[in-house]
Amino acid sequence: MPTKPAPATDLAPDPAPDPAETRSTVRALLRLWPYVRPVRARLGTAAVIAILASCVGLVIPLVLKWMVDGPVADRDPAGVWLGALYLLLLGLAEALLFGFRRWLVARPLAGVEAGMRADLYRHLQRLPVAFHDRWASGQLLSRGTTDLMLLRMFLAFPLTFLLVNGVTILVGVGIMLVQDWTLGLVILGPAIPVMITCGIFEKKYSAVARRAQDQVGDLTTVVEESVLGIRIIKGFGRHRSQARAFHELSHTLRGTELRKARLLAAIWAVIVTLPEVAIGAALVVGAVQVADGALSAGTLVAFLSTALALRWPVESIGFLLAMSQEAATATDRYFEVMDAEVETQGRAGDPALRGAAAPTRAAPAARLPAAGGLRFEHVVFRYPDAAPDSPPLLTDVDLHIRSGESMALVGATGSGKTTLTALVPRLHEVTAGRITLDGEDITTLSREELRSMVAVAFEEPTLFSATVGENVLMGAGPGAGDEELERALAVAQADFAHALPEGTGTQVGEQGLSLSGGQRQRLALARAVVGRPRFLVLDDPLSALDVHTEAAVEAALRQVLADTTALIVAHRPSTVLLADRVALLSEGRIAAVGTHHELLRTSPEYAHLMSGLDKPGDAEGPQEGDGR
């Protein structure tokens, strides 16, 4: 859980800056260029228009000088009205130019944000399961929402006005120096202290902005988990403890936001106070010069009007720097995800494995002859982030499921069953050895091709916020329709779908929680069999069913298994009897293979498991046996 930042003196340098403080803001923001490049013409035009509008505003003090030294001094009412008309036209021109600038950038920047969000979503789909195991969902959500909103705001305003205000300040200072260089030097007096303050502010604010955005991600995670786990929270009466946890995170984020506010207040105090003092000093010096006849009243009015016109560009420095730092931090957070290595495709010419050593293959002499069906050859697996000296979860797994055969995989909790099944569709990569389908190494297949051959059903079924039919047909190929849907529902004994309010067109809701556990599991099984896959991997697919429903599903499932090659994780004898043969997985190794009755006679461990002394409903997750 994030900790509340310790109190610190605003704008005081930290004794040991962290990486967020030392990284280059410009280098971070330059990574946005590929997204900005398609709209660079409109952004460039908008910047030029904004500079023109600011320069039009600086002409107004020159008109005032002409009015004071001309029509006002000569008591010429017509000249005063003419000057007023000039001022009105200049004001309208400035307003129209700024309005045109905003119109120019609104649509393309909304497109940039949408494009970045689409790229992030596509990239998340291609990242390996191990990445999603490590990252909190709230952190990913905050990068796709809050961070991208900050980037759009930066591109729309600070990016342009850092340039515009810089040019405006330079032009305005030039005008003042031309009018009277001594007063110009008075105005420039605070420049060095302001620049030093901005440098310190940039470093301090960068670290605090990163901390705040990470804490927003933590808070998003808590909210999401609380919504998804609301039944557990209510069931165990934990709403108060969850509320306290949320309050603590909110309080931590509040403290960080207040730290940001203090930093902004500190820099604003400097960049507002010092220029105001300089303007006051210039007024006094200018008034003395006018009284001495060394300076015209019109020149003093124009000089002070120009100085006042520069107040906003100077005062906005703190605000623009703050938004730039938040945008740089948001860019870093966005590319932390985008830089993560995607799953390898497998075909020649596809991206090679990067960021981690490629799975090593067993020596040719150690391989079994190529054969049909599903084969594990000397498979070793260790999670990528496991300690290098930790024992592998799976060790030298040798197993052959012949073409058209179904094999049950049995083992104690934590033996590696779920992990072994996850290797077939390449949800994880083997550390050593290889897996073949009909004699072809799965790493030579593209993931799309592999997953069109292999269908999976997990013990914990996941449904999406879609209709029943859409959820089931996710497992089918293009062109699948009602006939395939009805067949799959019949196999899974999921005819309850027709009794729902809108039949198979009923929305199941988020995570399918409007359905019972057994209903969700049957729909997941229907999704696995709807596409008539060549290879079927089922992870205890009947664990949530009652005895009678289980028997009906098994009877229908036998027909499906007769036409496919299947690996079935099983805990119940009834599920084991669906298979032609049984493999016993013990401590990451295949300890025995045979029929159910053979293993009952020859394997005490198998007999013990089937006796019911071991708990059924093995709840292995994607990190089983890894101590996490």
Count up the domains in the chain and report the number. Answer: 2
Beta carbons of 538 and 569 less than 8 angstroms apart? yes
Residue 370 is predicted with a pLDDT of: 44
Which residue do the tokens 């609104």 mark? 106
162: pLDDT strictly greater than 50: yes
- The length of the chain is 628
SS in 3 state form for 138-151?
Answer: HHHHHHHCHHHHHH
Least-confidence region, from 163-172, 178-187, 210-219, 368-377: 368-377
423: pLDDT strictly greater than 50: yes
Instruction: Tell me, yes or no, whether 406 and 507 share the same domain.
Output: yes
User: How do residues 199-252 score in pLDDT, each as one tens digit?
Assistant: 888 888 888 888 888 888 888 888 877 777 776 777 777 778 888 888 888 899
Instruction: Tell me, yes or no, whether 379 and 321 share the same domain.
Output: no
366: pLDDT strictly greater than 70: no
User: How do residues 433-471 score in pLDDT, each as one tens digit?
Assistant: 999 998 889 888 888 888 888 888 887 777 787 888 888
Residue 417 is predicted with a pLDDT of: 87
**Mean of pLDDT values over 270-276:** 84
Instruction: Tell me, yes or no, whether 250 and 130 share the same domain.
Output: yes
Residue 11 inside a domain? The answer is no
Instruction: Tell me, yes or no, whether 309 and 390 share the same domain.
Output: no
Residue 25 inside a domain? The answer is no
626: pLDDT strictly greater than 50: no
Q: Which of 285, 320, 338 is the last residue of a domain?
A: 338
Cβ neighbours around 302 below 10 Å, total: 25
Residue 355 is predicted with a pLDDT of: 36
Instruction: Tell me, yes or no, whether 389 and 308 share the same domain.
Output: no
**What is the domain range of residue 72?**
31-338
Beta carbons of 409 and 568 less than 8 angstroms apart? yes
User: How do residues 598-616 score in pLDDT, each as one tens digit?
Assistant: 899 899 988 888 886 444 3
**Rg (Cα) of the chain, in Å, rounded?**
35
Closest CA to 10 of 284, 381, 266: 266
Q: How confident is the model at residue 379 (pLDDT cuts 50, 70, 90)?
A: very high
User: How do residues 26-54 score in pLDDT, each as one tens digit?
Assistant: 888 888 899 888 888 888 888 888 888 88
Q: How confident is the model at residue 344 (pLDDT cuts 50, 70, 90)?
A: low
Residue 481 is predicted with a pLDDT of: 78
Instruction: Tell me, yes or no, whether 331 and 402 share the same domain.
Output: no
132: pLDDT strictly greater than 50: yes
Instruction: Tell me, yes or no, whether 385 and 284 share the same domain.
Output: no
Which residue do the tokens 């020159």 mark? 62
Instruction: Tell me, yes or no, whether 312 and 389 share the same domain.
Output: no
User: How do residues 283-333 score in pLDDT, each as one tens digit?
Assistant: 888 888 888 888 888 888 888 888 888 888 887 887 788 888 888 888 999
Q: How confident is the model at residue 621 (pLDDT cuts 50, 70, 90)?
A: very low
Residue 465 inside a domain? The answer is yes
Instruction: Report the percentage of the chain scoring pLDDT > 70.
Output: 87
Beta bridge partner(s), residue 538: 457, 568
Residue 145 inside a domain? The answer is yes
10: pLDDT strictly greater than 70: no
Closest CA to 49 of 179, 194, 167: 167
Q: What is the DSSP letter of 180?
A: -
* More confident of the two residues 347 and 405: 405
Taking the chain, what is the end-to-end CA distance rounded to the nearest angstrom? 18
* CATH code of 436's domain: 3.40.50.300
Residue 15 inside a domain? The answer is no
Residue 360 inside a domain? The answer is no
Which residue do the tokens 């009105």 mark? 88
Instruction: Tell me, yes or no, whether 334 and 392 share the same domain.
Output: no
Residue 403: strand, helix, or coil: coil
Which residue do the tokens 């979503």 mark? 121
> DSSP per residue over 545-575, as a string?
S-HHHHHHHHHHHHHHHTTSEEEEE--SHHH
Instruction: Tell me, yes or no, whether 460 and 406 share the same domain.
Output: yes
Residue 376 is predicted with a pLDDT of: 92
Q: How confident is the model at residue 139 (pLDDT cuts 50, 70, 90)?
A: confident
Instruction: Tell me, yes or no, whether 383 and 324 share the same domain.
Output: no
Beta carbons of 101 and 50 less than 8 angstroms apart? yes
Q: What is the DSSP letter of 442?
A: G
Q: Which of 338, 356, 379 is the last residue of a domain?
A: 338
Q: How far apart are CA 220 and CA 250, in angstroms?
A: 10
Instruction: Tell me, yes or no, whether 563 and 445 share the same domain.
Output: yes
Q: How many CA atoms lie within 13 A of 502 on its CB side?
A: 8
Residue 175 is predicted with a pLDDT of: 84
User: How do residues 480-508 score in pLDDT, each as one tens digit?
Assistant: 777 888 888 888 888 888 888 888 888 88
Q: How far apart are CA 186 and CA 295, in angstroms?
A: 15
Residue 355 inside a domain? The answer is no
Q: Which of 319, 338, 357 is the last residue of a domain?
A: 338
Residue 469 inside a domain? The answer is yes
Closest CA to 423 of 375, 389, 386, 391: 375
Mean pLDDT of the chain: 79
Structure tokens at 620: 């292995």
Q: How far apart are CA 612 and CA 99, in angstroms?
A: 76
